[in-house]
Amino acid sequence: MKQTLRIALAQISCKQGEKAANLRRIEEEVMKAKKLSADLVVFPELSLTGYVVRDQIYELAETIPGPSTGALEDLARKTRMHIVFGMPELSEKTQATIYNTAVLMGPKGFIGKYRKMHLPTHSVFEEKRYFRPGYQVAAFNTELGKIGLIICYDLFFPEISRLTRLAGSQLIICISASPGVRRAFFETLTSARAIENTAFLAYVNLVGVEDGLQFWGGSRLIGPQGKVLVRAKYDEEDLVTCDLAYADIRAVETFVPTLKDLRPELFDELKKSAEQL
Amino acid sequence: MDLQEVETRITRFIDGYVEKAACKGVILGLSGGIDSCTVAALSAKAVGGSKVLGLMLPESETYNIEDIRHAQAIVKKFKLKSQLCDITSTLKSFYESIPAFEPSEKVPKGNIKARTRMIYLYYYANRLDLLVCGSSDKSETMMGYFTKWGDVAADISPIMDLYKTQVRRLARCIGISEEIIKKPPSPALWPGQLAETELGVGYETLDLILYGLEHFMTVKEIAEQLKVGEELVSKIKLKWLSAEHKRRMLLTTKLAYRTVGADFRLKRG
């Protein structure tokens, strides 16, 4: 397993409902990231389709494996890169049950996927109308270390990144489609999730305007001490890279040992209280 | 489709909305075409002909005595109130007062007609405390075959969830004459304009394609079932999708906590 790696944050805008165009865009960015010697390149939430596609989701969703994951597996093999992107995933057992999914590919093909657990259905969001929530956290052993995947609104629920970290992830990847009015929340929460879990957190947000929603970008890699190690531009497409060394976690884990100090009995209490809210 | 039930649901809808809005009745543009005649008849059945004002808005370029005759027949049969306003001089004033006006460009000029009709309807509605009852059907609305802020502007649109072919069946059921039902539809924006020619497909086929799209069928499935080319289905699908901006108005960009047209989810007043 590599102890250091170079991550590329591919902050793109997407063409709503145009998978072929978005796949081309993803391929371009992967090639650019490859030239920058990145090991891993991360794209935003639902980067295959764009975020606001509403009822078109039913025709855009694909199974995994499917044509789009096939194309990106080939790309990952060809470039020997790791790629994370987002897509609407059609359940293989039904015809219209869809998940909001993050997919991880590697040089040997498909590695794993994560189905978003917290689906925002308030304000301008209508995800529960279209998606079924996932039920499992995701942490995958890769050549680049153990990588966890979470999606956007999951950041507001510390238990998701906590479980991902407890499953062994030292790098948590959060793909996102966050509109501008929520920027302050995400800028705070990305650092908080990194600090409380003593892990690297890579956050990649969408940019562009979809049906009046302006996605703010600002993608970033946060170190385990909560420091922003690299940040992409606000509101514009950007590709930034940053090196990370897992050894940096050790010093933070001794300085603020949040994992050592976890109190499991509190989680039982949390469950009981949450049920009685 | 149980047409009796459809009639009941639509008339109950019109009656309920008029009562809730505490208005004195409804007004509609009565062109003499199937959609407006059907809505006029349904309105009369809902609130009584004396509370329905049919506004006939002819103009010289598209003037058709048959249409006027059909509109008058509906007024008589369903005991509506009516008013005829010739909008020719208003249109002429518009054309003359717009420095950039270009008479050879049919669509922008035609849209002035649709929007002028809207102004007359809303003037009467305000003046007489009436609700504007729209006559757009589902086929034309899905295809974006209407003028933004023009013929589609209304307080309620009772037949907007019925395809044209369904409107024809409903019209027959509520006593609209065959002459009106079989007349080729036209928005009357310029002389000789015919809806089916402009849409590039007859309503019988169009409605089946739209029905398939409504039911999440793929282009391929629709084309196979109807034995039509995939290109035709794709073209219609694209028109349907690209016209959403005409159906969902009041778009802004989100800047604040709750946004008009986006996430204020309030009951209709």
pLDDT in tens, B107-131: 999 999 999 999 999 999 999 999 9
Would an 8 Å CB–CB cutoff place A208 in contact with chain B? no
B251, B145: one domain:
no
Query: Quick check: B197 pLDDT over 80?
Result: yes
pLDDT tens digits, one per residue of B211-264: 999 999 999 999 999 999 999 999 999 999 999 999 987 889 999 989 988 888
- Percent of chain A past pLDDT 90, that is, above it, reads 97
CATH label of the domain that carries residue A53? 3.60.110.10
| Residue at a domain's end among B173, B199, B225 | B199
Q: Is A212 close to B216, i.e. CB distance below 8 A?
A: no
Supply the mean pLDDT for chain B. Answer: 96
Residue A29 C-alpha, separation from nearest chain B C-alpha, in angstroms = 28
One domain, residues B159 and B245 = no
Average pLDDT, chain A: 97
Q: How far is A90 from chain B (nearest CA, A)?
A: 15
Identify the pLDDT of residue B268: 78
B227, B137: one domain: no
- Mean pLDDT, range A143-165, rounded to an integer: 97
pLDDT reading at B32 higher than 90? yes
Contact between A124 and B262 using a beta-carbon 8 Å cutoff: yes
- Final residue belonging to a domain, choices B199, B221, B244: B199
Nearest to B216 among A58, A124, A213 (CB): A58
Query: What's the pLDDT at B262?
Result: 87
Same domain, B180 and B99: yes
Cβ burial of B57 (10 Å; 0-12, 13-18, 19+) is buried
pLDDT at B40 over 90: yes
A155, pLDDT greater than 80:
yes
Of A59, A122, A124, the CB nearest to B254: A124
CB-based contact A181 B255, cutoff 8 Å = yes
B56 and B82: one domain? yes
Q: Is residue B27 domain-shared with residue B113, that is, in the same domain?
A: yes
Position A93, amino acid: K
pTM for the predicted model, two decimal places: 0.89
- Please check whether residues B212 and B179 belong to one and the same domain: no
**Residue range(s) defining the domain that contains residue B213:** 200-269
Category of A201 on φ-ψ map: left (φ > 0), alpha (ψ -120 to 50) or beta: beta
Whether the per-residue pLDDT at A198 is higher than 90: the answer is yes
- Residue with structure tokens 């008058």? B72
What six digits make up the tokens of A273?
């209280």
ipTM comes to 0.81
Tell me the residue range of the domain where A61 lies.
Answer: 4-275
Looking at residue B250, its pLDDT comes to: 83
Q: What is the pLDDT of residues A3-59, one digit of tens each?
A: 999 999 999 999 999 999 999 999 999 999 999 999 999 999 999 999 999 999 999
B220 touches chain A (CB under 8 A): no
pLDDT at B102: 96
Question: Tell me: the pLDDT tens digits for B53-111?
Answer: 999 999 999 999 999 999 999 999 999 999 999 999 999 999 999 999 999 999 999 99
The domain boundary residue, chosen from B181, B199, B217? B199
What is the rounded distance in angstroms from the CA atom of residue B218 to the CA atom of residue B215? 9
- B253 and A123 within 8 Å at the Cβ level: the answer is no
> What is the three-class DSSP state of A4?
strand
The continuous run of DSSP H or E covering A264 comes out as helix A264-275
The end-to-end CA distance of chain A, in Å, is: 44
Residue A247 CA: distances (Å) to CA of A37, A202, B171, B172: 20, 17, 77, 80
User: A58 vs B256: CB contact, 8 Å cut-off?
Assistant: no
Q: Which residue of A has its CA nearest to B241?
A: A56
